[in-house]
Amino acid sequence: MQPNVNVVSLVSIGRHPQSGRARRAEQDGRAVELGLKLVQDKLTLLHAGNAHETVLRQYAGMGLDGFTVLPQGEGDDAVPVLVAYFKANRQHHSRQIVLTGVNAESGESSGMLPYLLAEQLGWPIVPRIADIVRVDEFEAEVLLALPRGQRRVVTVSLPFIASVDSAAQEPRQSAFARGLRATLTTLDYGSRVDDAVSHWQVAPAKPKPKRLKVVKAKTAADRMKAATAKPVGGGGKVLRNESVEEQAQAIFDLLLEEKVIR
């Protein structure tokens, strides 16, 4: 089944959590993977930003002959350009699906971009999808990713925007040479600086303080006890000679306490 829709995967430049280096973003890669699953190499790979970023070729290396870039400066707002692009595109394709990641891996990463696009284009947005099961004339059936591997089935009318969750199919390997050969198309829809950003103070993340277990003590004696008591479970308990039932019970109790058994 190859539905007659125009699928656009909107990608950004990722950031490796350990090295901080530019990379194929986890969720955006999944958005491309899902797009490839739907329409193979007819997928449009779109990026708003620096056209010469080599990471874009990593996306293209997943199996595309080319990609489109709407050139933008460092602090520009991508939304107006993208809206202009999709409005222009609407004349050619009435049925469109736009796939993005949930949050960008750099910048503010508020995850607002798909919502702003949807609002301004008047399209519905489906958040955190794991898969698109079916696409037909007017609507698509998608799977929403819920915590702990659960899925919810939702139908949505075309055209729509979807953000792809980390639960979606992992992106395939990028073939270096294929990406190297991919042709770059740049389309100029102008650019607009994001003013708000200039008022921000940006600093490397400080470690977030871990919340301590607060002891609610009504009396001085209780507070004293709480302050001087040995922290529980420091060394690790070893059950050696208990019966199997007792041992199992001990494990079971710990699992219950940790709330992994419900």
Partner 1 sequence: MSDIIRRDPRAEWIVRNRLHPLHLSLVKSQQGDVRGPSGLLRKNVRDVGFIGPNGIKRIDRANLLTVDTTTRRSASKDTQTARPLHVVEQADFYIMVVADMVGGRLTAHDKDLLGQAHRLVVQYSDVNSQCCGAVALVCFGQIKDDQLGLSGVDRLFHLEDTVYDGFSPEARLGALQQIESQYQPLHWLFPDSVHGGADLACRFSARIGERLAAHVWQLDREQCLSRGASGSMDIKRATPRIVTLLEECADPIEDTQHQALPMVLEPMAVPSARLKEKGQMAVDASAVPLAEAEFILSAGNGIHNWAQFHATATALGATEGASRVAVDEGFMPRARQVGASGTWVTARVYVAVGISGAIQHMQGIGQCDKVIAINTDAGCDMVKRADLAVIADSDALLMALASLVEQHQLAKHAEQIHGENSNAA
Partner 2 sequence: MMLDWLPPTLIGVLLVLAGVGAIRRINLWRAGQAEEVAILAGLMAMPTRYLHDLHHVVDRDKYISRTHVATGGGFVLAMALIVLVHVFGVNNTLLAWALMAALVMMFCGALFVFKRRLNPPSRLSKGPWMRLPKSLLTFSVTFFVLTLPAAGILPDGTGRWVFTLVLSALILLSLSEVLLGMTWGGPMKHAFAGALHLAFHRRSERFGGGRSTGLKPVLFSDNDAVNKVHGVAKPSDFKWNQLLGFDACVQCGRCEAVCPAFAAGQPLNPKKLIQDMVVGFAGGSDAQYAGSPYPDGKGGVQEVGYAKGGADQIITDGLIHPDTLWSCTTCRACVEECPMMIEHVDAIVDMRRFLTLEKGDTPNKGAQVLENIIATDNPNGHSPESRTYWAADQNLALMKDVKKAEVLFWVSDGAFDMRSQRILRAFVTLLKAAKVDVAILGDEERDSGDVARRLGDDATFQSLAKRNLATLSQYRFSTLVTTDPHAFHCLKNEYGDFGSTALDGVEVLHHTTFLNRLVKEGRLRLDTFKGGKVTYHDPCYLGRYNGEYEAPRELLASLGIDIAEMERSAFRSRCCGGGGGAPITDIPGERRIADMRMEDVVSTGAEMVAVGCQQCTAMLEGVVEPRPVVKDIAEILVGQLVEEVH
d(CA 77, CA 215): 48
User: Apex CA 11: angle with CA 13 and CA 76, to 5°?
Assistant: 65
**By rule CB under 8 A, what string of x and - marks binding of each residue 159-188 to partner 1?**
-x-----x----------------------
Q: Taking CB under 8 A as the rule, does residue 68 contact partner 2?
A: no
Q: Taking CB under 8 A as the rule, does residue 231 contact partner 1?
A: no
**CB 109 within 8 Å of CB 127:** no
What burial class does residue 218 get, using C-beta atoms within 10 Å of its C-beta: 0-12 exposed, 13-18 middle, 19+ buried? exposed
**The entry of partner 2, partner 1, none that residue 232 binds, CB within 5 to 8 Å by partner kind:** none
Q: Taking CB under 8 A as the rule, does residue 119 contact partner 1?
A: yes
**CB 159 within 8 Å of CB 94:** yes
Q: Closer CB to partner 1, residue 4 or residue 150? A: 150
Residues 155-184 that bind partner 2 (CB under 8 A): 172-178, 180-181
Q: Taking CB under 8 A as the rule, does residue 21 contact partner 1?
A: no
Among 144, 161, 164, 168, which residue interacts with partner 1 (rule: CB under 8 A)?
144
- Residues near 152 by beta carbon (within 8 Å), at least 6 away in sequence: 143, 144, 146
Q: Taking CB under 8 A as the rule, does residue 35 contact partner 2?
A: no
Q: Taking CB under 8 A as the rule, does residue 138 contact partner 1?
A: no
Q: How many angstroms separate the Cα of 156 from the Cα of each of 99, 135, 176, 191? A: 14, 10, 36, 31
**Cα dihedral 200, 201, 203, 205 sign:** negative
Smallest gap, in angstroms, from Cβ of residue 238 to partner 1? 5
Among 108, 175, 184, 192, which residue interacts with partner 1 (rule: CB under 8 A)?
108
Pick the stretch among 33-41, 49-57, 64-72, 110-118 that binds partner 1 (CB under 8 A): 110-118
Q: Taking CB under 8 A as the rule, does residue 237 contact partner 2?
A: no
Structure tokens at 69: 């870039």
**CB 166 within 8 Å of CB 17:** no
Judged by the rule CB under 8 A, the positions of this chain that interact with partner 2 are 16, 18-19, 21, 23-24, 61-63, 172-178, 180-181
